[in-house]
A = this chain, B = another copy of it.
Amino acid sequence: MNTFGRAFRLTTFGESHGPGLGAIVDGCPAGLELAAADVQGELDRRRPGQSRLTSQRAEADRAEILSGVFEGKTTGMPIAMLVRNVDADSSAYGEIKDLARPGHADLGYFLKYGHRDYRGGGRSSGRETLGRVAGGAVAKKLLALKGISIYAHTTAIGDAIAGEASLDDVINNTYKNPVHCADLASVDALSEAIEAAKRHGDSVGGTVEILALGVPPGLGSPVFGKLDAGLAGALMGIGGVKSVEIGAGIDAARLQGSEMNDELYVDDGQVKAKTNHAGGILGGISTGMPVVCRIAVKPTPSISKKQRTVNMRTREDATIEIKGRHDPCIVPRIGPVAEAMMALVLADHMILSGLLGPDHI
């Protein structure tokens, strides 16, 4: 099940250390200007090795468009994108191929599929998200035509909580620092949380907020095609995410109705809400207010500390020390992936709701 979406569909493929990874976008209307550079720009935002805070693996990740674009514009045909793997040193994996790395998907793949590409986690590697980001790049360009923009920014790393950030901060500051935090005053604290984990051979989690601006009312179809349900599934499906919130999220549980309900008013003929505890979605349908999601990301499971585990083949207790270059924290890199997933969901619903033509723009 490597296809996502109903009208705007993404199919991804590829493993961490195989020949390459890629994505096919099917259902993108014809007439959208699209170049490999559009995709490349998004891939570069999720690229590791941009600073000492993230993995040192120098992933070239050059995107090639194989189909669906003619004379610089989409044709309505499937858009295939390919990224060849070039820096794939798999020597570190042979010796631990039968050991289940704690917190990793190894055991599930071993039990479910029997035969697996264990090198670098194979398909369960974070590199799988390349395909999501490539597909999301197309979705973003499409949404931009309708004035919809999406922003993810880091709001906490471990115990370091970022300060409040205005929308302008989010738009302008996020990619000016390696932790992708919109509040520049918090950058040092968040960076130090990562550095500390790294010093201890450990890793650390964090939280990310994802915003969509310009979303029109009417996206989402009750009762099993709700927009919030779609976003929750899309975001929870990103490796490492353990929680998804919409609007007030977990805080909604302790509020009174008179606090939670967003009062409505008319502004220049448009219905608006004074607050946005709903996160832009009521009854599964977008309201026209910004769509606001938050995700909690677990610490990277690959740590150099010795851990107790099992040998999956012999069914014996074992210990493992994971070598190789690993991000002590994937939170700064998960933002572009979360943006991509939100873009895919919104593009899908824009077409499903008839707000974007299915065949041509």
**Residues of A near any B CB (own CB < 8 A):** 1-4, 6, 9, 11-15, 18-22, 24, 26-27, 30-31, 64-68, 70-71, 73-80, 82, 100, 102-109, 111-117, 122-124, 128, 156, 158-159, 197, 200, 202-207, 217-218, 220-226, 228-237, 239, 242-266, 269, 271, 277-279, 282-287, 296-303, 305, 307-310, 312, 315-317, 352-354, 357-360
Residues in B with CB closer than 8 Å to A299 are 252, 255-257, 259-260
| CB within 8 Å for A20 and B123 given contacts A203-B257, A242-B252 | no
Partner pick for A116 among B30, B112, B220, B258, CB 8 A cutoff: B30
Partner pick for A253 among B2, B246, B298, CB 8 A cutoff: B298
Q: How far, in Å, is A195 (CB) from chain B's closest CB?
A: 13
The distance in angstroms between the C-alpha atoms of A108 and B282, with both chains bound, is 7
Count of this chain's copies in the oligomeric assembly: 4
Residues in B with CB closer than 8 Å to A205 are 252-255, 260
A-B pairs with the 9 shortest C-beta distances? A105-B283, A1-B225, A233-B233, A108-B285, A229-B237, A203-B257, A232-B236, A103-B261, A102-B261
The distance in angstroms between the C-alpha atoms of A264 and B305, with both chains bound, is 15
Residues in B with CB closer than 8 Å to A79 are 13
The answer to whether A266 touches B103, judged by C-beta atoms less than 8 angstroms apart, is no
The answer to whether B26 touches A1, judged by C-beta atoms less than 8 angstroms apart, is yes
The distance in angstroms between the C-alpha atoms of A255 and B22, with both chains bound, is 33
Residues in B with CB closer than 8 Å to A206 are 253
Residues in B with CB closer than 8 Å to A124 are 222, 283
